[in-house]
Amino acid sequence: MTAQHDPCAHCEEMMQPYLDHTLSDEEMREAEMHLDGCDWCRRRYRFEESLRIYVRQAVSKEPMPAALKEKLAALRIPLN
């Protein structure tokens, strides 16, 4: 089953762009509709959102070394 046919897999692929607010208006609505109806994905979204807040707060207290920023950037999964 591909991500296009599995709404949760598709939501997982779109999670980071959704959090980055880089999706189109239509994609944002599609993601929000899925999050409204799927407890699992909604919990995953809340976790990711909380993690981002935690990282921002930690970075504001102690600057992140450039090498660590590069390593974290390399972990991002590109959308196909």
pLDDT at 46 (0 to 100): 93
DSSP string, 10-69: HHHHHHHHHHHT-S-HHHHHHHHHHHHH-HHHHHHHHHHHHHHHHHHHHHHHSPPPHHHH
- Mind listing the pLDDT tens digit of every residue in the chain (80 residues)? 445 578 899 888 889 899 998 999 999 999 999 999 999 999 999 999 999 888 888 777 777 788 988 888 888 766 55
pLDDT at 6 (0 to 100): 86
pLDDT at 60 (0 to 100): 76
SS3 content of the chain, % helix, strand, coil (to 5): 75, 0, 25
